């Protein structure tokens, strides 16, 4: 038990970004004393256990509960059972069983995450639920999400922020929603859930134009991400067959047109891809366009690639290709 207690103190302290010195100061002990607890050289005095738990934002159950987590399989099975109970009209029995599990495993973050979903289902499926029931389940969701948020576990933090922001919007606490979004948008700017929450907040404030701009930015970002993924699928080492090459090029060009995306590098990607698909005329079309629109400082690199890369061997004797090479040489 001692070895696990030391590790427990370390993990909880680091989760709060607290130094040994800061913890020692809060408890009125020396930093070496804290170090001895964490290395299991000694145990905290019994009178310090409650202050220690409070300083680490936990409770005695969590501090001393070393087998507090269910396995993923167990949580999946329990979750399925409780959801089936809720859908079968046994919402109050499901609530009681869930409460028992949460008390038995007070620091199981995956269980708490699953519990939020179960309370959400109880709110929507329990037809005879009273207003007090609904308030209780909503409050449970909020408390669980806040607990997960406070732990700042990277695997669960985004989901907790999304839930707390949604709750703040439902409660009309727009300042709280704004604060949460500002905190996480810096780290997860491409996370689409936060974009939709931002739009919800803007609409609640009557900021329709700002909401539209937010959605347009997300649209452009998503289109760019899609194009990047498709570009990866066209890589030579992915060995796409001719049909896939032609389909991907056609789809990428359609996306560029729809979303008014202009990226000169795609022209070279199309040219190289069409060569591998033996569509030489299309390859030359895009190659000509790309060379003409290329920045001056890139043209020497393009010339080097055209003259040395074996990929261009099938079109090397074409008059259009020869003209491009000569033009690049004269510009150099």
Note the pLDDT of residue 249: 96
Q: How far apart are CA 282 and CA 270, in angstroms?
A: 8
Residues 118 and 79 sit within 8 Å (Cβ to Cβ): yes
Q: How far apart are CA 52 and CA 113, in angstroms?
A: 26
Note the pLDDT of residue 190: 54
Tens digit of pLDDT for each residue in 152-209?
Answer: 888 888 889 889 999 999 999 999 999 998 887 776 655 556 888 999 999 999 999 9
90 and 143 inside one domain: yes
Structure tokens at 225: 């991400």
Q: How far apart are CA 177 and CA 119, in angstroms?
A: 21
CA-based nearest residue to 190, from 164, 228, 136: 228
Note the pLDDT of residue 273: 96
Instruction: Assess whether pLDDT exceeds 90 at residue 7.
Output: no
Task: Among 163, 196, 220, identify where a domain stops.
Answer: 220
112 and 206 inside one domain: yes
CB-CB neighbours of 34 under 10 Å: 24
248 and 186 inside one domain: no
Give the CA dihedral 69, 73, 78, 84, nearest 10 degrees.
150
Tens digit of pLDDT for each residue in 209-225?
Answer: 999 999 998 888 889 88
Q: What is the CATH number of the domain that holds 40?
A: 1.10.260.40
Structure tokens at 82: 């409780």
29 and 56 inside one domain: yes
Q: How far apart are CA 307 and CA 310, in angstroms?
A: 8
- SS3 for 113-163, per residue? HHHHHHHHHHHHHCCCCCHHHHHHHHHHHHHHHHHHHHHCCCCCHHHHHHH
Task: Among 64, 87, 104, identify where a domain stops.
Answer: 64
Task: Among 173, 189, 220, identify where a domain stops.
Answer: 220
Query: How far is CA 208 from each of CA 51, 172, 175, 179, 320, rounded to the nearest angstrom?
Result: 49, 17, 18, 20, 51
Q: What is the CATH number of the domain that holds 97?
A: 1.25.40.10
Tens digit of pLDDT for each residue in 100-143?
Answer: 998 888 888 899 999 999 999 999 888 889 999 999 999 999 99
Note the pLDDT of residue 210: 95
Q: How far apart are CA 287 and CA 121, in angstroms?
A: 56
93 and 202 inside one domain: yes
Residue range of the domain that includes 20 = 2-64
Tens digit of pLDDT for each residue in 224-250?
Answer: 889 999 999 999 999 999 999 999 999
94 and 156 inside one domain: yes
99 and 56 inside one domain: no
pTM: 0.58
Structure tokens at 7: 């590790």
What's the number of domains the chain is made of? Answer: 3
234 and 151 inside one domain: no
127 and 207 inside one domain: yes
* Angle subtended by helix axes 20-27 and 31-38, to nearest 10: 110
Mean of the pLDDT values across residues 273-287?
96
| DSSP structure string for 195-261 | HHHHHHHHHHTT-HHHHHHHHHHHHHHHHHHHHHHHHHHT-GGG---HHHHHHHHHHHHHHHHHTT-
More confident: 125 or 283: 283
Give the pLDDT band (50/70/90) at residue 332. low
Report the percent of the chain where pLDDT is more than 90: 56
Tens digit of pLDDT for each residue in 54-108?
Answer: 898 887 766 775 556 788 888 999 999 998 998 888 999 999 999 999 888 888 8
272 and 191 inside one domain: no
190 and 310 inside one domain: no
227 and 265 inside one domain: yes
């Amino acid at each position: 038990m001692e070895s696990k207690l030391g590790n427990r103190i370390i993990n909880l302290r680091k989760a709060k970004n607290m130094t040994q010195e800061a913890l020692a100061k809060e408890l009125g002990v020396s930093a070496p004393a804290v170090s001895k607890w964490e290395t299991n050289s000694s145990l905290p005095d019994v009178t310090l256990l409650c202050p220690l738990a409070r300083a680490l934002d936990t409770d005695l159950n969590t501090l001393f509960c070393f087998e507090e987590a269910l396995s993923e399989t167990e949580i999946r099975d329990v979750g399925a059972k409780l959801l089936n109970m809720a859908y079968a009209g046994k919402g109050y029995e499901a609530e009681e069983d869930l409460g028992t599990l949460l008390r038995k495993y007070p620091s199981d973050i995956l269980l708490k995450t699953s519990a939020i979903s179960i309370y959400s289902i109880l709110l929507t499926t329990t037809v005879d639920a009273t207003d007090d029931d609904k308030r209780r389940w909503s409050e449970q969701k909020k408390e669980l999400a806040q607990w997960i948020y406070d732990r700042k576990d990277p695997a669960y933090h985004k989901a907790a922020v999304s839930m707390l922001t949604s709750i703040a919007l439902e409660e009309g606490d727009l300042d709280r929603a704004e604060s949460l979004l500002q905190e996480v948008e810096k780290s997860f700017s491409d996370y689409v859930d936060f974009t939709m929450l931002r739009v919800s907040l803007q609409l609640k404030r009557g900021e329709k134009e700002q909401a539209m701009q937010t959605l347009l930015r997300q649209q452009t970002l998503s289109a760019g991400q899609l194009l990047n993924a498709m570009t990866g699928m066209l890589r030579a080492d992915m060995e796409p067959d001719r049909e896939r090459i032609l389909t991907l090029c056609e789809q990428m060009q359609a996306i560029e047109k729809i979303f008014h995306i202009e990226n000169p590098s795609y022209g070279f990607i199309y040219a190289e891809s069409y060569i591998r698909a033996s569509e030489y005329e299309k390859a030359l079309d895009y190659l000509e366009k790309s060379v003409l629109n290329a920045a001056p400082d890139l043209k020497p690199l393009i010339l080097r690639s055209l003259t040395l890369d074996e990929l261009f061997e099938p079109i090397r004797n074409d008059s259009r290709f020869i003209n491009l090479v000569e033009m690049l040489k004269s510009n150099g």
